[in-house]
Copies of this chain bind each other. A is one copy, B any other.
Amino acid sequence: MDPVMNDDKKQLMDDQYHILHINRTSTRLEKLGTTHVYPKGFIFDFREKEPDAIYYIKRGRIIAYEDSYDGDHRIYNIMSSGSLFLEEYVLFPRTCPVLFKTLTDSELLKIHRCDLIRAFKSDVDVTLDILDSVCNKFCASMETQRIGIKQDAEWKLCRMLISTFENYGRAYKDGMILNEKVSHQLLADLLGMNRVTVSRKFKKLRDLGLISQESGHLYLPDIDAFLTYMDQLEFQSSTTRSDNESDGTQLPRD
A interface with B by C-beta (< 8 Å): 15, 18, 66, 68-72, 74, 76, 87-89, 91-92, 94-95, 97-98, 117, 120-121, 124, 127-128, 130-132, 134-139, 141-146, 148-150, 192, 194-197, 200, 238-239, 241-242, 245, 248-249, 252, 254
Counted per complex, copies of this chain come to 2
Chain B residues within an 8 Å CB radius of A71: 242, 245
The interface residues of chain B lying within 8 Å CB-to-CB of A192 are 149
Give the chain B neighbours of A143 by CB distance below 8 A: 97
Contact B197 A252 (CB under 8 A): yes
Q: Assess whether B132 is in contact with A254, with CB atoms less than 8 Å apart.
A: no
Residue of B nearest to A134 (CB): B134
Beyond the given A71-B242, A130-B131, A141-B141, please list 11 additional residue pairs across the A-B interface where CB-CB is below 8 A.
Answer: A70-B238, A70-B241, A70-B242, A88-B135, A92-B135, A97-B143, A98-B142, A148-B148, A194-B252, A195-B249, A196-B252
Residue pairs across A and B with Cβ atoms less than 8 A apart, 23 shown, are A15-B95, A66-B146, A70-B238, A70-B239, A70-B241, A70-B245, A71-B245, A72-B245, A91-B131, A92-B131, A98-B146, A117-B128, A120-B124, A121-B124, A127-B131, A134-B134, A138-B138, A141-B142, A145-B145, A194-B245, A196-B249, A197-B254, A200-B252
A72 touches B241 (CB 8 A): yes
